[in-house]
A and B are shown apart, each in its own frame.
Chain A
């Protein structure tokens, strides 16, 4: 009868129903806590609540306190949480909504983790949640987060993949740590050499940055005042040589030319983009010129905020608009650095006549101010004297500089000049520009930042949102001249910074300025570390890769060169790793086994090597059949080996004895067949 094929071998009995052990679930919960932590302050609290409830529910069920939810309840919960996210954010994509949805899915998936695949899936989703956290924030604080997320996640995955019980936690950690140690060089090579792209592949998300404070293309009374409450950094700047005086540090942002009596606006974006400013020529011989590097925080706008007045810049595709705003081609969506050169000039020539809008004054608003302007201009005799007189009025009369200005009515400039007489920089700039226009002098408001704070622990300055400022530019004799009316009322604002210009009681309300000195030191230290991190790690991109390849000897490295270097490096690392681990295994071989291999090698020289499928006994028998004179010695050696190998845990002395016997075994010469 012909042999018929049988079905395959399988495990006896019915397959065991899979379940998750408490230890495995605890690792998963720990991982979820780690990757959820960075989302805590941006996502609504109910999401953390649901995650917490799901984790408690799952652990309690594993301990046998209560059952797990059925499939109907789980389906309902999934639908409800998707709807809740859609209702909260009006979308389910985007950074915030996406992170929320991922966290909720993580919680719901946790409720149905039975098999190894379920558990592994939880780890994979958790890593994606961590990734989403990095899209939102990548400060130095992310490094411990990354380390913990990868280490704990890897342990959790190791435990999740086990079919029955988790291995002891220390064993799991050690195994994982060793594996990670091997992985780090490879990851580093990929990080440095994997080809990066200079621009985005698709549109950047607008979500996640909504709460950010910063300048905008319009200004009404109170806007900058609200900025002054925030100590968030706007950018950091490093000067190549000695920094200019603090009073010279005007960082030029949006230029506002359109005025409706209350609100200042920039001209339409398209108009600004079409017209570009001519480069400055004929600088006075003794003009101080400064080179600097600015690391901008993401502000989702296009202003690059150069020091006045920008001469050159290396930001790709940046343009200088007709109003001398330096604009990036795309909104600044991530922290980015650029280098520039500027001359700290109080005025610059502009051959182009000012826009008619720079003379516009709303007739319906602020009639008293207009009347005042007419009177003062007539009394002054010249434009310059008139402007000086306005500054003198601010300085000599009872005008106050305050962060808490009273509310203004329908005629804000009138109210400010004649009634409240106290305000912040935007009030003074607005009133000054309006008075100039009312007297027929083209004027505009420039917003940006003024000053900054040197980090005493490092060689850079921090410019914060609280340094936001508004000043004016006035067209006189073919030049735009800077007039800063705030300097007239509060000169210390410009000379020493915002902290000095405000009374002590107000200063205490500002977040960083009012705190104790040692805390300030700590904050500066942390900021300095972060700045280094930005400079060396986060700023790493295509240019740095090219520089790296340039150092390796490529003249003008292309993307192909980079890919080639990447592939070669990664493969050699892998080869090296394989070689090292093979060598390690040879060395790690058991001494008993080594002695046995030695015996086999020696016997093989007699002409009969051991076949791989032969047991020690069979091999010995085969050799004895060919060489009967070895019978006694081989039989006892083989018996000893088998006993040491399979019957007991051999002591060191016995293993050594076996080795000695193997070495002392006298073999006949290979050709003298007995």
Chain B
């Protein structure tokens, strides 16, 4: 069904005009019950030849029919903009705002976004007014995802009919790998560890963060404090060079792809938080050391889209 709607409408840009043709309408459950009530009234009036009964039944029928039009018109003609949708780490919520602008002269009432059970509280829009409806999307898997359909709906005026529109924002939601948790607990300790780093074997090298120890590594390089705080055994990572370090896929001894990606994500977050330059080496991909938001996201993006197949190339 959803595919049919999508094929019919095509993908949407960032600004969407709700044309009449893409506003769908159906009776709600209350509307169906009301239909039954009207039918019963009509039967009763027919049976008793009761003209006041007919008048009541027909007035209510006419009001209902006219209200269909009002429901549809309440949604049609709105201008919608999808905002937000910034990349998040797996497990976090993607947040997006549906900005609704009422460019018409009549007020719009009770417009909400989201599916029937979990829609936002409806908003009223004055003529020329606008509002932003916040939606969120739980994530679990890293990678690029197609933006799921967004439903914008209204039951104005009587709740007997619901008009809705499907929005298919033509954009990709990027979900970065979930950062390794253990490093997160160790993170506040980095400054303390940094002091010890001065006495380390590689005095000239710079402390850049923590990493998984390589078998046979010197106990002096272990981050015992992090271990004592309940974390995993990690090694302090010192890299030589002009304040930059390489995060290398192959230097990690974890075998599981997702664990490695998690650890790399954590290392990148920490390095970025510390303001350090870093480079990323993945099988088949090499991002030279760099700094700043753009570099940060480029690295995380590479991790997010990383597929094991790329190893073979």
Contact = CB atoms under 8 A, between A and B. Distances in A.
B132 interface: no
Interface stretch (A242-250, A314-322, A480-488, A585-593): A585-593
A487 B236 CA distance: 128
A530 to B, nearest CB: 13
Contacts of B46: 196-197, 201
B69 A578 contact: yes
A161 B33 contact: no
A333 B59 contact: no
A179 B56 contact: no
B58 to A, nearest CB: 4
A179 B48 CA distance: 29
Interface string A1-26: 11111111111100110000000000
A113 B55 CA distance: 29
Contact of A614 (B15, B47, B67, B77): B15
Contact of B33 (A124, A131, A149, A187): A124
A20 B143 CA distance: 44
A138 B50 contact: yes
B6 interface: no
Interface in A536-560: 537-538, 540-541
Contacts of B73: 581, 585
Contacts of A465: none
A158 B62 contact: no
A590 B144 CA distance: 41
Interface in B116-130: 117-122, 124, 128
B43 A131 contact: no
Interface in A180-195: 180, 182-184, 186-187, 190-191, 194
A464 B95 CA distance: 77
Query: Among the interface residues A10, A197, A204, which one has the most CB atoms of the partner chain B within 10 A?
Result: A10
A419 to B, nearest CB: 50
Contacts of A622: none
Interface in A555-584: 574, 577-578, 581
B158 A194 contact: no
A614 B37 CA distance: 47
Contacts of B119: 10-11
Interface in B28-81: 29-30, 33-34, 37, 40-41, 43-63, 65-67, 69-70, 73, 77
B148 A191 contact: no
A154 interface: yes
A10 B112 CA distance: 11
A613 B136 contact: no
A127 B105 contact: no
Interface stretch (B149-157, B178-186, B187-195, B202-210): B149-157
A583 B88 CA distance: 46
A15 B137 CA distance: 15
A38 to B, nearest CB: 11
Contacts of A162: 109-110, 122
Query: Among the interface residues B54, B66, B73, which one has the most CB atoms of the partner chain A within 10 A?
Result: B66
A130 interface: yes
Contacts of B105: 588-590
B121 to A, nearest CB: 6
B106 interface: yes
Query: Among the interface residues A134, A138, A160, which one has the most CB atoms of the partner chain B within 10 A?
Result: A134
A42 interface: no
A295 B290 CA distance: 99
A200 interface: yes
B158 A9 contact: no
B312 to A, nearest CB: 15
A405 B110 CA distance: 72
Given A150-B60, A179-B66, A191-B58, A9 B17 contact: no
A32 interface: no
Contact of A5 (B34, B112, B146): B146
B196 interface: no
B92 interface: no
Contacts of B198: none
Contacts of A184: 59, 62
Given A10-B136, A179-B66, A157 B159 contact: yes
A142 interface: yes
Interface in B282-313: 305-307
Interface in A610-624: 611-615
B38 to A, nearest CB: 9
Interface string A131-158: 1001100100010001001100010011
A615 B121 contact: no
A334 B50 contact: yes
Contact of A16 (B106, B121, B144): B121
A120 interface: yes
B229 interface: no
Contacts of A121: 30, 33
Contact of B59 (A8, A183, A538): A183
Contacts of B120: 11
Contact of B51 (A201, A537, A615): A537
Contact of A9 (B30, B62, B104, B114): B114
A606 interface: no
B143 A10 contact: no
Contacts of B16: 613
Given A5-B148, A161-B156, A183-B63, A10 B44 contact: no
A134 B54 CA distance: 10
A594 to B, nearest CB: 11
A363 to B, nearest CB: 49
Query: Among the interface residues A4, A7, A197, A201, which one has the most CB atoms of the partner chain B within 10 A?
Result: A4
Interface in A186-233: 186-187, 190-191, 194, 196-197, 200-202, 204
Interface of A: 1-12, 15-16, 116-117, 120-121, 124, 127-128, 130-131, 134-135, 138, 142, 146, 149-150, 154, 157-158, 160-164, 167, 175-176, 179-180, 182-184, 186-187, 190-191, 194, 196-197, 200-202, 204, 333-334, 537-538, 540-541, 574, 577-578, 581, 585, 588-590, 593, 611-615, 649
Please provide the 4 A-B residue pairs with the shortest distance between their CB atoms, ordered closest to farther. Answer: A613-B13, A161-B159, A10-B118, A183-B62
Given A8-B149, A154-B158, 9 more contacts: A9-B96, A11-B112, A12-B135, A15-B118, A163-B110, A180-B59, A196-B46, A196-B49, A613-B15
17 contacts: A4-B143, A9-B96, A9-B114, A10-B119, A120-B34, A124-B37, A127-B41, A127-B60, A131-B45, A134-B53, A154-B158, A161-B156, A161-B159, A179-B66, A187-B61, A200-B49, A577-B69
Interface of B: 12-17, 19, 29-30, 33-34, 37, 40-41, 43-63, 65-67, 69-70, 73, 77, 93-96, 103-106, 109-110, 112-115, 117-122, 124, 128, 133-139, 141-146, 148-151, 155-160, 172-173, 305-307
